[in-house]
Amino acid sequence: MPKSDSSKMKKSTIPNSSPNHRMPAHPMNALRGHNESHLVSPRAKSEMLRIVSFLEELGGEVESTLEVLTGNPHLRMTLHLIRGHLEARVVTPTSLIGASQVPYATANRRLREMIEAGLIEQRPRTKSGKSFSLHPSEELLWQWAQMSTRVERLAERYFGGRKRAAGSRDYYFGGSYMSARSIPPLKLVPEPLKVPGGIRVLVHGDPTFMVMENLKRQFEQAIGTQIHQRAFSIDRLREEGKRNADRKVSRYDIIALDLPWVGEYAEKGILMPLDEIMDIARLDPADFHTAGWKAAHWGGRPYGVPAQTTPELLFYRRDLFAQVGLEPPSTTEQLLHAASVLHAPQRGRYGVAWNAARGTALGHTVLLTMADFGQPVLNLPEIAGGFETDHLSQKDYRPTIDTERGERAARFLMELLKHSPPDILSMSWYERIRPYAAGNVAMAYGYTLLAPYFELDDSSPAFGQTGYLPHPAVPGVAPVAPVGGYVMGIPANLPAERVPAAVEALLIFTSPEAQKLYVQNGSRTNPRYSVGSDPEVRRASPIFEAVDTMSWRDELQFWPRPPVPEISDIIRICGEEFHDMLRGIIAPREALVRAQARADALMRPT
């Protein structure tokens, strides 16, 4: 995922000894505090948006009441820029000039003044460099964060305001994650949900949803009615979701779906758009990891609520790396070198495990590996910070498998095969983690939801010895932690009289209180910033701090598996053709050609 040079600035540290050092810009999330290791709560984003809205409305009221006043273009442009930054929207010179509400020539001069003053950064949106997006500079973000605190203090001083515990302002505006307030226990609903037969839920049979099943009695007490949960493997879950949509009346009040299925489920009318049946603000969208929340949308509308945000990471044995003097790999070349050094079949230890079973499992690996070489599986427009996915519903896309970068990814997998266990071609989701937990593999690609296999087993050689990294990438391509996991939505064929209860149950199942409860009972997935900042959660596992840090660095991305309706079939196609390649039946070049041809035929049927 190529980034502009400003990405280097975003990763810089901010020493305590330098009070004048400005905090780094971040294009997707809220801001950091003075100390890089003390990350501010993402609720800062909501608070800062509240300040932006307040100033926008105050300015509008003053200008409409006193017509003799003219607008302040610098302020209006700054407000528009900050809002775009916090909401992860692209801001162009045209949109910023339009937000100024002054004549074009005047606005253009003010824009140049802000750029020259170092308040606005320009980042190329295309390879030609002729089109730019605009972003607040680190200087402007720093000034705005400081002003936000002053605006709130002034409002509280003159007009009163809500009471806060000591230190809570620091929590919102630059305080330590470690001093964050603890999330309270799960609460009971004021009135039990009245729904005949209880709440019926369709989920994936993974550790997180199984934790939910184990806590069923506690959740039944919280919502005041019974919960009936059915769990399936990933392929069977998708088929059951589609079969349920063909029924006259849904068997389930809530269904879980893998993130890449969102486009398919939306296009086929399997799910209700959530903004039609509930107030989305009740979910606190700013509290979700940006990539997980955006991936739950199709055509700009939310179709599900993140129940798990579980990026695929590289798990590695810190002790084994230390024994041979290896640094954690940050590039694909370093990964291959580490795998070769640690590969010792004669001692029953192998370099690396990964999804290589035929079909869906290997197909995921192919797409994520292509991303490590900077190649999305579709011709997504390249933008600052990655690849643009906001307009997928317009269907202006085609497969991009047979490319130069695609071939490099294929040959990388062939090299990886040399340092893998002998049964690698039958390994899928769980099979790749079990040998890692048993100490038979030095590294493994795996989703965080699988970490309990070794994090909760003190007999595992990997217990307390595992480090977590985003996918190593080739030089010039920023590493990504491809976001996986599940969202929960409401079937479109659910009877209207059951919808209100389903909405309330959905809110509870995905609430911060519920997510913390899952973690306390063994889950290693988390879709919310507030949960990741909870002191008890952070003590439960280093994985939460690692993932939050990746999110701040903008490494959590869902473009490697874009949620278009055809993605499941594209994954299957890649998993079949590349499996033949790994078995030596066809060469890498032929695997690429065949996968490309089948994907083209799928998306442009004759």
Domains of the chain: which residue ranges? 6-178, 199-309+485-548, 310-483+559-603
More confident residue, 501 or 23: 501
pLDDT tops 50 at residue 40: no
pLDDT band for position 266 (50/70/90)? Answer: very high
Report how far residue 541's alpha carbon sits from residue 552's, in angstroms, rounded to the nearest whole number.
18
Report how far residue 446's alpha carbon sits from residue 480's, in angstroms, rounded to the nearest whole number.
14
Per CATH, the homologous superfamily of domain 310-483+559-603 is Periplasmic binding protein-like II (3.40.190.10)
Q: Hunting for tokens 């486009």 — which residue is that?
A: 263
Q: State what percent of residues in the chain have pLDDT above 90.
A: 59
Q: What is the mean pLDDT of residues 321-350?
A: 97
Predicted pLDDT at 357: 97
Classify 469 as helix, strand or coil. Answer: strand
Q: Which residues of 387-406 are buried (b: 16+ CB within 10 A; e: fewer)?
A: bebeebbeeebebbbbbebb
Q: What is the mean pLDDT of residues 128-142?
A: 81
pLDDT tops 80 at residue 241: yes
pLDDT tops 60 at residue 288: yes
Predicted pLDDT at 181: 65
Predicted pLDDT at 447: 94
Predicted pLDDT at 52: 81
Q: What is the mean pLDDT of residues 302-329?
A: 96
Predicted pLDDT at 298: 94
- HSE-CB at 516 with a 13 A cutoff on CA atoms is 21
Pick from 223, 224, 248, 244: nearest CA to 232: 244
Q: What is the mean pLDDT of residues 296-323?
A: 95
Tell me the pTM.
0.69
Beta carbons of 117 and 140 less than 8 angstroms apart: no
pLDDT, mean over the chain? 85
Beta carbons of 268 and 245 less than 8 angstroms apart: yes
More confident residue, 181 or 256: 256
How do residues 434-474 score in pLDDT, each as one tens digit?
999 999 999 999 999 999 999 999 999 999 999 999 999 99
Q: Hunting for tokens 């950064």 — which residue is that?
A: 121
Report how far residue 478's alpha carbon sits from residue 480's, in angstroms, rounded to the nearest whole number.
6
6-178: CATH topology = Arc Repressor Mutant, subunit A (1.10.10)
Q: What is the mean pLDDT of residues 43-55?
A: 72
For the structural domain made of 199-309+485-548, what CATH number should be given? 3.40.190.10
Spell out the long-range contacts of 3-11 with Cβ–Cβ below 8 A and sequence spacing 24 or more. Answer: 3/384, 3/385, 3/386, 3/478, 3/554, 4/123, 4/124, 4/384, 4/385, 6/121, 6/123, 6/135, 6/384, 7/385, 7/478, 7/554, 9/138, 10/553, 10/554, 11/553
pLDDT band for position 95 (50/70/90)? Answer: confident
Predicted pLDDT at 164: 42
pLDDT tops 50 at residue 527: yes
Report how far residue 488's alpha carbon sits from residue 491's, in angstroms, rounded to the nearest whole number.
10
How do residues 466-495 score in pLDDT, each as one tens digit?
999 999 999 999 999 999 899 999 999 999
The region, left, alpha or beta by phi > 0 then psi within -120 to 50, assigned to residue 88 is left
Of 27-36, 319-328, 467-476, the range with the lowest mean pLDDT is 27-36
Q: State what percent of residues in the chain have pLDDT above 70.
A: 84
Fold: same for 6-178 and 310-483+559-603: no
CB neighbours of residue 309 within 10 Å:
31
pLDDT tops 50 at residue 61: yes
Q: Which of 167-171, 178-182, 379-383, 459-463 has the highest mean pLDDT?
A: 459-463
Side chain identity, residue 348: G
Predicted pLDDT at 43: 55
pLDDT band for position 176 (50/70/90)? Answer: very low
pLDDT tops 70 at residue 15: no
CB neighbours of residue 542 within 10 Å:
15
Which DSSP symbol is given to 399?
B
